[in-house]
Amino acid sequence: MENFNCIRKLLPTVVDRLFQSHEYKKSLSVPFNLAIQASWAKGLAEEHFKEDLLELMSMMENFNAYADKKMYVEYEKLFEKRYPFVEKISRGFRHTVYDLFKVYPDSPPLEQAPPSKPSSGQAPSEHCNQSAYDVILEGDC
């Protein structure tokens, strides 16, 4: 019965908790942001001349001109990444399945005061310090 509970109940629970954890979502932010930058750059390239592109890209903060190449490298790193929550579960092989159900991912770190909201006359991108992935998840900026 213990093996049945491990496969049938514990494994799906661990996967669900990992996917909902801060550590997992944060690991996705780098390749996700690079994918957005690469797509955005391709869209710009279709509508502008090379000189215009260089000017636009130089005005953008943290823009990676090689995002299309770097994105795949960062994506591959996800398959080698080790998550502390999964490590906790794997070190608990001597515990019962019931005890392992009590293990949760660590809570996200407490954040500092949120950035001030931009006024209506200014573009949000000038003041927003969040990644695009965080903005999608939290809806701020």
Output the pLDDT for position 138: 46
Look up tokens 């770190």; give the residue: 109
Output the pLDDT for position 72: 80
- Pair of tokens at residue 41: 């750059």
Output the pLDDT for position 31: 81
The whole model's pTM is what? 0.52
Q: What is the DSSP string of 76-95?
A: HHHTT---HHHHHHHHTTTS
Residues 6+ apart with CB under 8 A from 105: 17, 18, 20, 21, 22, 23, 24, 83, 84, 85
- Residue pLDDT tens, the chain, 141 long: 666 677 788 888 889 999 989 888 888 888 877 777 777 666 655 665 666 666 666 666 666 666 777 878 888 888 888 888 888 888 887 888 888 888 888 877 666 544 544 444 444 344 444 444 343 344 444
Q: Answer whether 24's CB lies under 8 Å from 18's CB.
A: yes
Output the pLDDT for position 101: 85
Output the pLDDT for position 127: 42
Diameter of the chain measured on Cα atoms: 68
Domain edges within the chain: 1-21+83-102, 29-81+115-141
